Structure formats: C-alpha cells, structure tokens
C-alpha cells in the first residue's frame, strides 16, 4: 500500500483507538466511581497557546479504579491542532488532568493517575499528566 499516513487515517475512519485510565490514591489503592471527562481540544495561536474544546465522553471508573473507552484516533501523525484531554475528579481528592492524549488505531493508550486526598487547612494538590503508555491491541471488528 503506497499512501501517506494522513490518507491512511482518512481511509480507516471506522477504526478506533483505546484509552485506559487507571486511578489510584497515594497508597496505590484503586479509586472506584471516579469521574473522568474526556474532551477534544482544538489549539490555536502561533505557539498553540490557546485551546477550547468539547466534552466527548463522561465515564466513571469501575471497582478496580479503571475505565476503558474507544474513541476515534487523534495524534501528532495526523497533522492537526486537535488532541484529547481529560479531567479526573473524585470527591475528597485533588483533581488530576491529562493533556495531549494521543490515540492511534488498534493501540491502547494507558494513563496511570494518582489522586491525593484533600487535607483541610492545606492547599489542594493538583496533578498534571503528559506522558502515556501505549500497547498494541487486536481489533476484532473487521
């Protein structure tokens, strides 16, 4: 097959990428029922200093603190100014934010997220995550 990556993605728009988020506390205990809001952000400006987006999915972690969703691919190979981002929120804990989430066809992108409990009288801890792990998965939807 002789085609560019961009053409490949246009030809395979039915394919999805997979995002797995694993949420634990500072003691590495799973945090069930954690809200994860996934947004598709569009960056603008000479240095991509502005972004606005729309929420594309809201999900809650399972009893093991995990969530697994399938979304259309969106990554740096597509030559676009769009990426996914997510907020991770649970009552009683500081929020975490995932930036520049890149999804590839038939690849499972994994984020391990740690939330810190809020302690009265102390500043709330907020965590930002930029790196993700990627694993190939077999797509059985042919």
Residue 64 sits in a domain whose CATH number is 2.60.40.10
- Confirm whether 28 is domain-assigned: yes
Quick one: pLDDT at residue 1?
A: 39
- Structure tokens that stand for 92 in this block: 């009683």
Residue 8 belongs to what H/E stretch? helix 5-11
Quick one: pLDDT at residue 13?
A: 55
- Which residues span the domain enclosing 123? 5-129
Number of domains in the chain: 1
Residue ranges of E strands in 11-106: 17-25, 35-44, 50-60, 66-71, 82-89, 96-101
- Structure tokens that stand for 8 in this block: 């490949």
- Confirm whether 85 is domain-assigned: yes
* Residue reference for tokens 């259309």: 72
Quick one: pLDDT at residue 59?
A: 97
pLDDT under 70: residue ranges of the chain: 1-13, 131-142
Quick one: pLDDT at residue 11?
A: 44
- Confirm whether 141 is domain-assigned: no
Burial readout 88-121 (b: 16 or more C-beta within 10 A, e: otherwise): bebeebbbbebeebbbbbebbbbbebbbbeeeee
Quick one: pLDDT at residue 21?
A: 96
- Confirm whether 87 is domain-assigned: yes
């Amino acid at each position: 097959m002789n085609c560019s990556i961009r053409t490949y993605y246009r030809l395979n728009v039915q394919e999805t990428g997979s995002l797995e988020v694993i949420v634990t506390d500072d003691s590495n205990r799973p945090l069930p029922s954690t809200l994860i809001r996934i947004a598709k952000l569009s960056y603008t400006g000479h240095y991509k200093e502005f972004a606005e987006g729309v929420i594309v999915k809201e999900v809650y972690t399972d009893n093991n603190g995990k969530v697994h969703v399938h979304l259309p691919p969106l990554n740096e190979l597509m030559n676009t100014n769009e990426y996914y981002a997510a907020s991770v929120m649970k009552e009683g804990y500081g929020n975490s934010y995932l930036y520049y989430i890149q999804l590839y066809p038939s690849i499972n992108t994994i984020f391990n997220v740690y939330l810190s409990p809020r302690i009265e009288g102390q500043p709330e801890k907020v965590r930002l995550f930029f790196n993700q792990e990627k694993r190939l998965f077999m797509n059985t939807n042919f």
